[in-house]
Chain A
Amino acid sequence: MKKNNVTKVLSLKALLASAMLMAACSNDGSSDSAQSADYDPDSKLEVNWTAMLHTPSPPSGDVLDKLEEHTNAEINFNWVPDASKEERITAALASGELSDIVSLTMMTNSSVRQSLKSGMFWDVGKYLDDYENLKQIPEEVRNAASIEGTLYGVPFQKPLARSGLVIRKDWLDNVGLKEPTNLDELYEVARAFTEEDPDGNGKNDTVGFGDRSDLKYSSFKLIASYHGAPNNWKVEEDGTFTPEFETEEYTNAMKYSRDLYKNGYLAQDFAVTAKTDQQQNFAQGKTGIYTGMIDILNLKNLSQGLQEGMKLVPVNKIAGPDGEYHVWSENTGVGGLLAFPKSEVESEAELKRLLQFVDDLIDKEAYLLMTGGVEGTHYEMDENGALKILDTDSWKNEVQPFSSSRPSEVTHELIDADPDKQLANELVVENDQFAVIDPTVPLDSATANERGTELEKIITDATIKYIMGDLDDAGFKDAVKKWRESGGDQIAKEYAEAYKAAK
């Protein structure tokens, strides 16, 4: 941690010989095991932390000071905008320019997996039980966060399945419909939102589903799990692995979305729409169904001054053809890892002090700071014990940036003073009961690590084309065949082997 100067010198050298540096920089991580394992939990810590930023700008204000006070540490955040995490994190991993703590959120990214497996980071598995909060991390979360049985960092604990829909309640009332409870009703809502002028302005200017070019976080993946499709992979009874897109349920979901698109109930430009545009379209009253329940407050705030009288309702229980509820789970409740690179954290004692720091962050006091901010400034507890944000703008600027760096979102329960947000939170908890787990989260496949992202692209493209009517069943089968031949078969085989070995 006193490596600041060293890092500076190294980065100067990087200008001279960036390529050579990679070797030099990554070599200095290995000679450190001999030092004493004792640490002083009361010592003042100086910590550099590479963290994700989901807001437009880094936090201002005094929340950081309070956090530092609570954890007895000096925290230097190195913010990485979430939109550019892929380039930034992979580049940082490749160059070895890391900080004491690195938030790794892309657990399926091949480059992240390769780095983890290469031993760049400390194995923290055996230390967790020494800490008050960390020892409460459930066994299944630890398993899901492990790679080949090794835990290379403290898992970010998230709700098991966060996905769900946000629907315009006022529009539902205008067209005389109730909240949908099954796929047919959902389709009917999308139709009515498009054709029956739900905003009553006499113009044909609304669409049901507003989506973006991402299948996972916009409606498609959710609709697929409503149809009963597996989450990425399905384990057959004989232990073989079938990819989701070869199941009948996935095909049904594609047909469902294709019908939505063909009739105009799904935004026609979804394949070229970015997330901010998708949210803007919703806030401006162009679309009426949004995927992503946790964004409900955000959407409300965005619409202020644009759509007066907008009422929203979160919906997550859409029964599939089998009458059951299903929602896909993102990484089995693991939001990534707080990893400690050996090149920066040189001794066991340093590692233990850092784990103490992470443990302190899970304390209720720190959790409240990172969730609501400073009591009296950013929030207050109302008579029902609900957390009420006092000034949304200052909360957005000073508190919200920290929220994605909370090591656990499930340890403490808070009541949100906004009833819609509170309902969405409750529905997320309810999702646990019908979450569909991705069986490959704790498994490893060399081929998936090497070319997983490329292969995924083949299927994503084909699915989008199918939805837009540019590809028929035969065309989709060809794409699947291409996927199989380019490495998909190999991945299935490797997962089956890893699954067998893990059992």
Chain B
Amino acid sequence: MRETNVAVDQVSTAVSKKEIKQMARRKNAASLVRNKYLYLMILPGLLYFLIFKYVPMAGVVIAFQDYQPFLGMAGSEWVGFKHFERLFTEPTFFMLLKNTLIFFALNLFIFFPIPIIVALMLNEVRLKAFKGTVQTIIYIPHFMSWVIIVSIFYVFLTVDGGIINELIARIGGEKIDFLTSPDWTRSLYIIQVIWKEMGWSTIIYLAAVTAVDPQLYEAAKIDGANRLRQIWHVTLPAIRPVIIILLILKIGQTLDLGFEHVYLLLNSLNREVAEIFDTYVYTAGLKNGQLSYSTAVGLFKGVVGLVLVIGANKLAKKFGEDGLY
């Protein structure tokens, strides 16, 4: 393309820039026609993002209004950063931030490595049938809703008649308020997350592991590496890009910990350790009808998530990894 441009310039100035642009456009149009089916295939995806992700974004303007449904977006009063000021000066703000960050840290440091370890272990299993069975069993909880999982824990852990507490009482111990004691809330949270998502999260790692070139293992064996060494020097470096990508994505969810799960865990006694931004938005926003305020909280969450993803991506690139984009 550049050659033609240069040539055209040299030959005559009569061909205006406009025409050059037109030529370029024609060429683009030609490629569009040629690959029309490919473009057609991408269309539903694009539409999905446009309709469900981008158009509703216009709604964030109500974070800067005193939105009244009856008046609508056009008629509501503009109030600038009032709602953000309220959020940051709210006495509960630091409690919310702290709880959110702690839950996030639990997710990152305790939950995140577990699927990797499980995937590596499954990869070492020799019996195909055994591996398949284990995989199926650990995938199942993923398909249960949080309501069911929290209810199962509830049935097991109640003080009056819960199996665990009855067992503790029978061996002479003192019953424990698992469900209402703030000391147990975080443990329950992470145990439930692990139980539900551990198996499902191994899928991507297992796929990455199977893509490792078997020759590398042979070479390592010849060099005298045992099983553990092979995992350390071959498998792990091979799946490192996948781990990094998933880590960046995880970091993006910092303030997005799953409303449903935490809401179900929440009760009057553990609120100080379990109330997070999502549940706060629900009570302050939906139940109280504070649409503008909850939009402001949601926007704040989104911005923090975006900053963290970009930061993590930059960091990954600095260490020579591919990153997300």
* Interface set of A (CB-CB < 8 Å, partner B): 15-20, 22-27, 29, 86-87, 90-91, 93-96, 109-112, 114-115, 118-120, 207, 213, 267-269, 271-272, 286, 450-454, 457, 460-461, 464-465, 468, 470, 482, 485-486
Contacts A110-B289, A470-B269 hold; do A26 and B55 have CB atoms under 8 A apart? Answer: no
With A24-B72, A110-B289 known, 16 other A-B pairs at CB within 8 A are A15-B51, A19-B55, A20-B58, A26-B69, A86-B286, A93-B289, A95-B69, A109-B289, A114-B68, A118-B70, A119-B70, A272-B179, A272-B267, A452-B288, A465-B269, A482-B91
- Could you tell me if B269 and A464 are in contact, using CB atoms closer than 8 angstroms? yes
Q: Does B3 contact A (CB under 8 A)?
A: no
Q: Does B258 contact A (CB under 8 A)?
A: no
Determine, out of B110-118, B152-160, B305-313, the stretch whose residues face the partner at the interface. Answer: B152-160
Residues of B within 8 A of A29 (CB): 70
Residues of A within 8 A of B267 (CB): 213, 271-272
Q: Which of B55, B71, B72, B74 contacts A16 (CB 8 A)?
A: B55
Complex alpha-carbon distance, A157 and B203, angstroms = 58
Complex alpha-carbon distance, A109 and B286, angstroms = 11
- Could you tell me if B160 and A451 are in contact, using CB atoms closer than 8 angstroms? no
Q: Which of B56, B161, B269, B287 contacts A271 (CB 8 A)?
A: B269
Complex alpha-carbon distance, A267 and B69, angstroms = 43
Q: Does B140 contact A (CB under 8 A)?
A: no
Residues of A within 8 A of B289 (CB): 90, 93-94, 109-112, 114-115
Q: Does B80 contact A (CB under 8 A)?
A: no
Residues of A within 8 A of B287 (CB): 86-87, 90, 109, 111, 453
For residue B153, give the distance in angstroms from its CB to the closest CB of chain A.
11
Complex alpha-carbon distance, A379 and B271, angstroms = 48
> 1/0 per position for B126-164, CB-CB distance to A under 8 A?
000000000000000000000000000010001111000
Complex alpha-carbon distance, A29 and B58, angstroms = 23
- Could you tell me if A115 and B70 are in contact, using CB atoms closer than 8 angstroms? yes
Residues of B within 8 A of A94 (CB): 69, 289, 291
Complex alpha-carbon distance, A19 and B291, angstroms = 12
Q: Does B283 contact A (CB under 8 A)?
A: yes
Chain B residue, CB-CB nearest to A25: B72
Complex alpha-carbon distance, A27 and B69, angstroms = 9
Q: Does B180 contact A (CB under 8 A)?
A: yes
Q: Does B284 contact A (CB under 8 A)?
A: yes
Contacts A90-B289, A91-B286 hold; do A269 and B69 have CB atoms under 8 A apart? Answer: no
Q: Looking at A25, A267, A453, which has the most chain B CB atoms within 10 Å of its CB?
A: A453
Q: Which of A19, A213, A453, A486 contacts B56 (CB 8 A)?
A: A19
Complex alpha-carbon distance, A496 and B70, angstroms = 29
Chain B residue, CB-CB nearest to A452: B288
Complex alpha-carbon distance, A438 and B174, angstroms = 43
> 1/0 per position for B213-235, CB-CB distance to A under 8 A?
00000000000000000000000
- Could you tell me if B73 and A20 are in contact, using CB atoms closer than 8 angstroms? yes
Chain B residue, CB-CB nearest to A462: B268
Interface band, chain B: 20 to 34
Q: Does B237 contact A (CB under 8 A)?
A: no
Residues of A within 8 A of B55 (CB): 16-17, 19
Chain B residue, CB-CB nearest to A268: B159
* 21 intermolecular pairs with C-beta atoms under 8 Å apart: A16-B51, A17-B56, A17-B58, A19-B58, A20-B58, A22-B69, A91-B286, A93-B69, A109-B288, A111-B287, A111-B288, A115-B69, A115-B70, A118-B68, A118-B71, A119-B70, A272-B267, A451-B290, A454-B283, A454-B288, A460-B268
Chain B residue, CB-CB nearest to A29: B70
Residues of A within 8 A of B284 (CB): 451, 453-454
Chain B residue, CB-CB nearest to A471: B269
For residue B178, give the distance in angstroms from its CB to the closest CB of chain A.
10
- Could you tell me if A450 and B73 are in contact, using CB atoms closer than 8 angstroms? no
For residue B204, give the distance in angstroms from its CB to the closest CB of chain A.
32
- Could you tell me if A26 and B71 are in contact, using CB atoms closer than 8 angstroms? yes
Complex alpha-carbon distance, A20 and B159, angstroms = 50
Chain A residue, CB-CB nearest to B158: A269
